[in-house]
Amino acid sequence: MTHPAIQLPALIAHRGYSAAAPENTLAAVRAAYEAGATWVELDVQLLGDGTPVIWHDGDVARCSNGRGGLASMSWAKAQTLDAGAWFDDRFAGEKMPSLSEMLALLNELEMGANMEIKVNKGRDPIALVERALPEMLDTLPPERLIISSFNAAALGHCRQFASKERLALGVLFGSVPKSWHEQCEAIEAFSVHPHWPRLKRAQADAMQRDGYQILCYTANDPSAFHSRWEWGIGSVITDEPAAFKRFLDSH
């Protein structure tokens, strides 16, 4: 046995269906499910009191009605925030989800998850992995979980917790560096997650030759992304899962 038997979907809803619902909320995951997505990408980080939550930014200004950094915020304080009305009044009352709440929903819907270990500036990657990873491993089966990160220390620490047979790890890149292969080998990666406009054909070819799945982020125009399927890209991570589904269903 090598990696978990993951049936990689052609599309993964980025932060849930983030074009249609407030990103990284339970509502965004339900919207992704209703649009036909079977997997979502979500960002995981810690509040100041150690609670693992689903959130992208280092602070709450952009995606809530409050202010302040996650590093100094308690769960009780976070739950006073409205994390939905900023997007649309229809989502007023939506909360910042805890990792536990999100994992329960993913299991209820039997969805797969690419959980990104989000190490914002000044935050500790090791503490994040130690608090969040065991719960993810305990809750989601190997075939419905991929952990990714831009942070090499976080990924290396994840591998200390679980073998490549149990845990699929993915390396996130902006521009793919020359050292991509060494970085993937060091953690026995399952997948490479490049920023799609910066990925070169030769790099995609080399990644596939070396046996890595390719999950490209974040593409929102199916026509613009079209030629990349011929490159052997396994999955597209998109804010627009319904548009990609329509496109894929008709091609």
The footprint of ligand G3P (CB under 6 A) covers 14, 41, 43, 56, 116, 148, 172, 193, 217-218, 237
For residue 226, how many C-alpha atoms fall within 13 Å in the half-sphere facing its CB? 7
- Partnered with residue 41 across adjacent β-strands are 14, 114
- Applying CB under 5 A, among 29, 33, 40, 43 the residue interacting with Mg ion is 43
With respect to Mg ion, which residue has the nearer C-beta, 23 or 94? 23
Instruction: Dig out the tokens for 82 from the structure.
Output: 């409205």
CB of 240 to ligand G3P, least distance (A): 14
Helices (H), 52-165: 75-78, 99-109, 125-139, 152-161
Give yes or no for a contact between 189 and 182, defined as CB atoms under 8 angstroms apart.
Answer: no
Backbone angles phi, psi at 31, to 5 degrees: -65, -40
Cα(20)–Cα(39) distance, rounded to whole angstroms? Answer: 16
Helices (H), 9-85: 26-34, 75-78
CB of 5 to ligand G3P, least distance (A): 22
Q: Distance from CA of residue 230 to its chain's centroid?
A: 24
Q: Which stretch binds Mg ion (CB under 5 A): 38-46, 123-131, 161-169, 180-188?
A: 38-46
Partner whose footprint covers residue 217, from ligand G3P, Mg ion, none (CB < 5 to 8 Å by kind):
ligand G3P
Q: Which stretch binds Mg ion (CB under 5 A): 41-49, 154-162, 188-196, 227-235?
A: 41-49
CB of 193 to Mg ion, least distance (A): 9
Partner whose footprint covers residue 172, from Mg ion, ligand G3P, none (CB < 5 to 8 Å by kind):
ligand G3P
Instruction: Report which residue's Cβ sits closest to Mg ion.
Output: 116
Give yes or no for a contact between 43 and 118, defined as CB atoms under 8 angstroms apart.
Answer: yes
CB of 12 to ligand G3P, least distance (A): 9
CB of 72 to ligand G3P, least distance (A): 22
Q: Which residues bind to Mg ion, rule: CB under 5 A?
A: 43, 116
